[in-house]
Amino acid sequence: MRMKVEKGGNGMCKRMILVLFIFTLGLLPARGEERPAIVVNAFTIAPDVKFPYDMFEMQKAAIAEMKAKDAAQFDIIEAAAPGQARVFVLDGVVLEWHPGNVAERMLIAAGSVAGRENAKIHFWLTSKDGKKVFETTETIRQLWMRNLHEKNSGLLRQPFADKITQCLAAANLDHENAPAK
């Protein structure tokens, strides 16, 4: 007993396979589209400011925090590859630094900002062509009840990284706003 296959049925099967193939291709990420990159430079220190910490350690902390929070959206790197098409560059400067006072923090503070080490930082993000796409000045403070002193970055390492990450998230940068080549 032989089964008879209609011509229309065979064509329908081919069309379904074609539709499934095209649908599957649509689910795959485009090879030519790369995530935008953020190059994180070490911040500088204003000439009249005595900042006791290593800015390269602060840079590493910011990169680690940004990778932890923004890795799905951006490549966070220390230097752009020569052929990188979509790149933002993060630069900044420490404008002020205040060492804080342990006695004041313990006696008066009770959760306030009194006595905590703090710094004022100004940072900005530029596109590959040098256009500023984001800019802000922020104050960072030692975390309350976290007095772990990092060897080269003091008590401001985590607040520094957190503040940069929070501000860039608030800037709402995405693929559409990323500079194209």
Q: How do the domains of the chain map onto residue ranges?
A: 35-170
pTM of full prediction above 0.85: no
Top-confidence residue, 43 or 107: 43
**Which CATH number does 35-170 carry?**
3.40.50.10610
Best CA proximity match to 152, nearest among 60, 45, 52: 52
The amino acid occupying position 67 is K
Convert the pLDDT of each residue in 91-141 to its tens digit. 999 999 988 766 555 555 554 555 678 899 999 999 888 899 999 999 988
CA 171/CA 125 separation, integer angstroms: 10
What number is the average pLDDT over the span 74-78? 85
Top-confidence residue, 123 or 77: 123
